[in-house]
Amino acid sequence: MPTITDVRTILTAPEGINLIVVKVETDQEGLYGLGCATFAYREHAVKSVVDDYLKPLLLKRDVHKIEDLWHLMHNNAYWRNGGITNNAISGVDMALWDIKGKLAGLPVYELLGGKSREAVPYYRHVNGNTLDEIVEKIETLQKEGINHFRLQWGLYGGIAKNLNTPPNSEPGIYFSPSQYMQDTIKMFEHVRKHFGDSIELIHDIHERLSPSDAVFLAKRLEKHRLFFLEDPFPIEQVAWLEQLRNHSAIPVAIGELFNNPLEWTPLIKERLIDFIRVHISQIGGFTPARKLAVFAEQFGIRTAWHGPGDVSPVGHAANVHLSLNAHNFGILEWWDFPDILYKVFPGLPQVKNGYIHANDKPGFGIDIDETLAKKYPIKKTVTQWTQTRLPDGTLVNP
């Protein structure tokens, strides 16, 4: 049985976003696995958990025992389910699935039961500063075969105009909830009028509104037949989902901030959401995500794994393998990867005519060029985009 001889973190930022990848090496010549541990804004803390705690725990262990090793890592610090620990565990967990696939000579989706579909449909972000720009971007993406678009007019919280802020207000990103809501309603009216009903539309409130404003916006957007409305409420306010359900038939997606099964279990059991949006490294990796997909299937809830630029290409590859297999797959969020990421991560799934295609190599089918990755060191900066404020200066969820 191959055993673990090293567990290493690789930090790289080819696109300017800090990525953390874990490499698990074994005593079998040339056999290793890669996993995503990307917590882009706390990268050194994740690295420390991997290097200082997980590596000593895992050396000489049997690579085959993924389930046992996941629980070993999960319980080892006694306190569990935090984002930093979960990302560190995910790096190892995905790497072990990658290794298992390589040992079996099969892509990971085959280990799960095989493909439910030949390729994975996805959505892309459409952000624009004007309605014309939004329409143009949709038209460009349509030419690539894409039919699902997440629309944001000026990204999260919209474009602030003539805000009255008190003197000496703290620095931050200021926005007006009422301006944002009115502009968003206008945007959906414009886009539906222009394109008709054939395209699929998504919007992400990104927790920016008060709960009652989010219910109001959902009701106003309902007639535009959204594919889903994302994060209408912060995780601390999910009890409001019941009220939203009572007022609107708009499909709801939530979950990219979840850390803990206690956060998603009641929402799925009560059928308060339509899509589960978990960031799979944030919940501890491939092992818990696979279980979550199966659990959600029992309740008619579909998957839409979190897939922005602050998920590493290794994490995206894992999302693709889960999405190829799950019967209850809904849609996948896909990033517009620049060429450099295809060079640093050979095997990153390719897109063609609106679908993502995994290659048929064993494991997740993705590798890392460590020499090239080193040329793009990570940046140590204070995270700015999460400092979001109302006109009077009150901090709100980013």
User: Which listed residue (122, 123, 156, 180) is catalytic?
Assistant: 156
Residue count at the site for Mg ion (CB under 5 A)?
A: 1
CB of 207 to Mg ion, least distance (A): 9
* Residue 206 a catalytic site member: yes
Q: What string of DSSP letters covers 274-308?
A: SEE---TTTTTSHHHHHHHHHHHHTTTPEE----S
Give the residue closest to Mg ion by C-beta.
Answer: 204
Nearest Cα to Cα of residue 35 among 110, 104, 89, 71: 89
Kindly tell me which of 267 and 368 has the beta carbon lying closer to Mg ion.
Answer: 267
What's the half-sphere exposure (Cβ side, CA atoms, 13 Å) at 208?
Answer: 29
Scanning 80-88, 100-108, 126-134, 196-204 for contacts with Mg ion by CB under 5 A, the matching segment is 196-204
Q: Give, for 188, the enclosing helix (H) or strand (E).
A: helix 177-195
Assess 207 for contact with Mg ion (CB under 5 A): no
93 contacts Mg ion (rule: CB under 5 A)? no
- Residue range at the interface with Mg ion (CB under 5 A); choices 89-97, 199-207, 258-266, 342-350: 199-207
- Name 123's bridge partners: 148, 333
Exactly one of 125, 206, 306, 316 is catalytic; which is it? 206
Given the rule CB under 5 A, which of 31-39, 201-209, 221-229, 296-304 is the region that contacts Mg ion?
201-209
φ/ψ (deg, to 5) at 208: -75, -20
β-bridge pairing 120-128 and 395-396: unpaired
Minimum Å gap between C-beta 230 and Mg ion is: 5
101 or 232: CB nearest Mg ion? 232
Q: Is 204 in the site for Mg ion (CB under 5 A)?
A: yes
Beta carbons within 8 Å of 30's beta carbon, 6+ residues apart = none
CB of 152 to Mg ion, least distance (A): 10
Structure token pair of residue 91 = 């790096």
Active-site positions? 156, 206
Q: Which residues bind Mg ion (CB under 5 A)?
A: 204
